[in-house]
Chains A and B, each alone.
Chain A
Amino acid sequence: MSKMTYRDAIRSALREALRDDPRVFLMGEDVGGYGGAFKVSDGLLEEFGPERVRDTPLSENTFLGAGIGAALGGMRPIVEIMTVNFSLLALDQIVNNAATLRHMSGGQLSVPLVVRMTTGGGRQLAAQHSHSLEGWFGHIPGIKIVVPAVAADARGFLLAALRDPDPVFIFEHATLYPAEGEVDEQAGPAEIGRALVRRAGDAVSVITYGGTLGKALQAADELAVDGIQAEVVDLRSLRPLDTETILASVAKTHRAVIVDEGWRTGSFAAEVSARIMEGGFYSLDAPVARVCSAEVPMPYAKHMEDAALPQVPAIVGAVREMLGAHG
Chain B
Amino acid sequence: MTDIDRAHTLALLRQMLLIRRFEEKAAELYSVGKIRGFLHLYIGEEAVAVGTMQALTPEDGIVATYREHGQALARGIPAGSLMAEMYGKANGCSRGRGGSMHFFDVSRRFYGGHAIVGGGLPVAVGLALADELKALARVTACFFGDGAVAEGEFHESLNLAALWKLPVLFLCENNLYAMGTALARHQSQPDIRRKADAYGMRSDAADGMDVLAVEEATRRAADHVRRGHGPFLLELRTYRFRAHSTADPELYRRREEVAEWKQRDPIVLLTARMQAAGVLSAADLASLEVSVAGEIDEAVRVAETGPWEPVEDLTRDVYTETP
A residues sitting closer than 8 Å to B (CB atoms) are 25, 51, 54, 56-57, 59, 61-75, 77, 92-93, 96-97, 101-110, 141-142, 144, 165-166
A106-B317 CB under 8 A given contacts A72-B123, A73-B130, A74-B134: yes
Q: Once A and B bind, how many residue pairs between them come within 8 Å at the CB atom?
A: 142
B204 CB-CB contact with A under 8 Å: no
Q: Which of B96, B126, B159 contacts A68 (CB 8 A)?
A: B126
Binary flags per residue of B55-68, CB closer than 8 Å to A gives 1, else 0: 00000010000000
The CA-CA distance from A142 to B315 in the complex, in Å, is: 10
B111 CB-CB contact with A under 8 Å: yes
A70-B153 CB under 8 A given contacts A96-B116, A105-B106, A108-B104: no
Judge whether B130 and A74 touch: CB under 8 Å. Answer: yes
Binary flags per residue of B104-118, CB closer than 8 Å to A gives 1, else 0: 111000011010100
Q: List, in ascending order, chain A residues with CB within 8 A of B94's CB.
A: 104-106, 108
Judge whether A73 and B131 touch: CB under 8 Å. Answer: yes
Judge whether A109 and B111 touch: CB under 8 Å. Answer: yes
Q: List, in ascending order, chain B residues with CB within 8 A of A101's CB.
A: 112
The CA-CA distance from A129 to B317 in the complex, in Å, is: 35
B212 CB-CB contact with A under 8 Å: no
The CA-CA distance from A69 to B129 in the complex, in Å, is: 8
The 4 closest A-B pairs by CB, nearest first: A69-B126, A65-B122, A73-B130, A106-B95
Number of interface residues of B (CB under 8 A): 44
Q: Which of B93, B106, B123 contacts A69 (CB 8 A)?
A: B123
Main secondary structure of the interface of B (DSSP, over half): mixed
Judge whether B121 and A62 touch: CB under 8 Å. Answer: yes
Judge whether A73 and B316 touch: CB under 8 Å. Answer: no
The CA-CA distance from A96 to B119 in the complex, in Å, is: 8
* Minimum distance in angstroms from B139 CB to a CB of chain A: 13
Judge whether A69 and B130 touch: CB under 8 Å. Answer: yes
Judge whether A102 and B126 touch: CB under 8 Å. Answer: no
- Nearest A residue (CB) for B101: A104
Judge whether B160 and A56 touch: CB under 8 Å. Answer: yes
A62-B130 CB under 8 A given contacts A96-B116, A106-B317: no
- Nearest B residue (CB) for A167: B319
Judge whether B116 and A61 touch: CB under 8 Å. Answer: no
Judge whether A105 and B102 touch: CB under 8 Å. Answer: yes
- Nearest B residue (CB) for A165: B320
B residues sitting closer than 8 Å to A (CB atoms) are 61, 92-98, 102, 104-106, 111-112, 114, 116, 119, 121-131, 133-134, 140, 152-153, 156-157, 159-160, 163-164, 316-320
Q: List, in ascending order, chain B residues with CB within 8 A of A66's CB.
A: 122-123, 125-126, 129, 160
Q: Which of B61, B106, B116 contacts A92 (CB 8 A)?
A: B116
- Nearest B residue (CB) for A106: B95
A69-B319 CB under 8 A given contacts A25-B133, A62-B153, A104-B97: no
Judge whether A105 and B119 touch: CB under 8 Å. Answer: no
- Nearest A residue (CB) for B93: A106
Judge whether A59 and B320 touch: CB under 8 Å. Answer: no
Judge whether A97 and B156 touch: CB under 8 Å. Answer: no
Q: Which of B122, B127, B152, B163 contacts A73 (CB 8 A)?
A: B127
Q: List, in ascending order, chain B residues with CB within 8 A of A62's CB.
A: 121-122, 125, 153, 156-157, 159-160
Q: List, in ascending order, chain B residues with CB within 8 A of A67's CB.
A: 126
Q: List, in ascending order, chain A residues with CB within 8 A of B320's CB.
A: 102, 110, 165-166
Q: List, in ascending order, chain A residues with CB within 8 A of B133's CB.
A: 25, 51, 70, 75
Q: List, in ascending order, chain B residues with CB within 8 A of A51's CB.
A: 133
Q: List, in ascending order, chain A residues with CB within 8 A of B130's CB.
A: 69-75
A64-B122 CB under 8 A given contacts A106-B94, A106-B95, A166-B319: yes
- Nearest B residue (CB) for A107: B317
Q: List, in ascending order, chain A residues with CB within 8 A of B318's CB.
A: 102-103, 141-142
Given A72-B127, A101-B112, A144-B319; 4 other pairs, CB 8 A cutoff: A54-B164, A66-B126, A93-B119, A97-B123
Judge whether A103 and B317 touch: CB under 8 Å. Answer: yes
Judge whether A103 and B128 touch: CB under 8 Å. Answer: no
Judge whether A71 and B160 touch: CB under 8 Å. Answer: no
Q: List, in ascending order, chain A residues with CB within 8 A of B114's CB.
A: 97
